[in-house]
Amino acid sequence: MTFGRRLQAARQAYGPLCVGIDPHSSVLEEWGVGDSVEGLERFAEVCVEAFAGQVGLVKPQSAFFERFGSRGVAVLEWLLQEFRHTGTLTVLDVKRGDIGSTAAAYAAAYLDDDAPMAADAVTVSPFLGFGSLEPFFAEADRNDAGVFVLALTSNPEGPEFQHANAGDGRTVAGSVLAQLAALNASSAPLGSFGAVVGATIGETSEDLAIDGPLLVPGFGAQGGTVDDLRRLFGAVWEQVVPSSSRGILNAGRDPAALRASAQQVNAQLVSS
C-alpha cells in the first residue's frame, strides 16, 4: 500500500493525532530517567510500549537522538524498527534538503525499506528549490513511503522566505503547495506527498487542498488549539495530521498515562 493509503487507514483506525517523540533534555529530567544515553534508551522503551499500535503516527525528532552521537542514533534506529508493522506509522523529523547525489543518499538513508533508519515518511526542506527534492520523491515511490515538505511553518522567521514572491504571482509557500498538489493529482484517495503547515500561523490565503496529508506541528503545548485547526483546515480536515509532543509527553513516564493522554486528544479531535 502507498503511504497515503496507509496513513488514511491509520487515521481511521486510531484518530488523526501524531505524537511527537522529542527526548528533550528537560523531558528526560522530568521523567526521572536522566539526560544520558541510558535515559534516552528508557525513554524510547516507554514510548514504544505506550504508543505502538495505539496511535496512528509518531514523529521522532532526529536531533534529540543525534545529540548523543552514535549511541543516540542507535537508539533511534531501534525505535524506528520497533514501530514497524505495529500499525503505527513513523514520520522521521530530519528536515533534510540538499542536491543531487547527496539528496539521494539522504533519501536512501531514511526511506529505503532496508535501511537501518527506515521510516514510513520523512520531513524535508524545499529551500534549495522544489526540484532538489526529486530524489526523495523517487525513493518514496520505490518504497511506498511518504515525504512531508516544509511549506508554512509557525516559527516567526519563516515568512521571510515562505511569503516571498516566487516570481509567478504566487508566494514560495504557494508554489510548494501547488507542486505538491500536482504530484498527488493521480493518487487516490490520498497522495503520499504532504506539506508541513503550522497550527499557529494565524491565517492563510494559500490553497491547502493538495490531495495529500498536512502535518500540523504547533498543536497542544505550543499554543495551537482544536478551534485553530478547524478554522485553518476545516475545508481539508480529512487530510490533517495534528502533531503534539510536549502536550502528550507531559503525562510522564508511565505508559498507561501516556497512552490515555494520546487517546484523550484523539477523542477531542474526532468529536470536534
**Residue 186 confidence (pLDDT):** 85
Tell me the average pLDDT across 144-163. 94
Whether the link from the prior residue into 189 is cis, omega within 30° of 0, is: yes
Residue 118 belongs to domain with CATH number: 3.20.20.70
- Which among 268, 269, 264 is positioned nearest to 240, based on CA atoms? 269
Dihedral of CA 202/258/72/106: which sign?
A: negative
Residue (of 227, 235, 232, 124) closest to 179 by Cα position:
124
The sign of the dihedral angle between the CA atoms of 52, 60, 80, 99 is positive
> Treating both helix axes as pointing N-terminal to C-terminal, what angle do 134-143 and 100-111 enclose, rounded to 10 degrees?
30
For CA atoms 229, 133, 112, 96, give the dihedral sign.
negative
Per the structure, the count of domains in the chain is 1
Q: Residue 188: pLDDT band by 50, 70, 90 thresholds? A: confident
pLDDT at 168 exceeding the cut of 90: no
What does the pLDDT average to over 158-163? 92
Q: What is the pLDDT of residue 9?
A: 95
Domain span at residue 93 reads: 3-271
Integer angstrom CA distances of residue 204 from 131, 164, 182, 196: 24, 14, 20, 14
Average pLDDT value for residue range 26-53: 98
What does pTM read for this prediction?
0.96
Taking Cα atoms as reference points, which of 116, 132, 113 lies closest to residue 76? 116
Euclidean distance between CA atoms 156 and 136, whole angstroms: 27
| CA–CA dist 77, 61 (Å, integer) | 12
pLDDT at res. 221: 66
Q: What is the mean pLDDT of residues 84-102?
A: 97
Catalytic residues: 95
**Geometric angle at alpha carbon 67, from 121 and 92, rounded to 5°:** 5
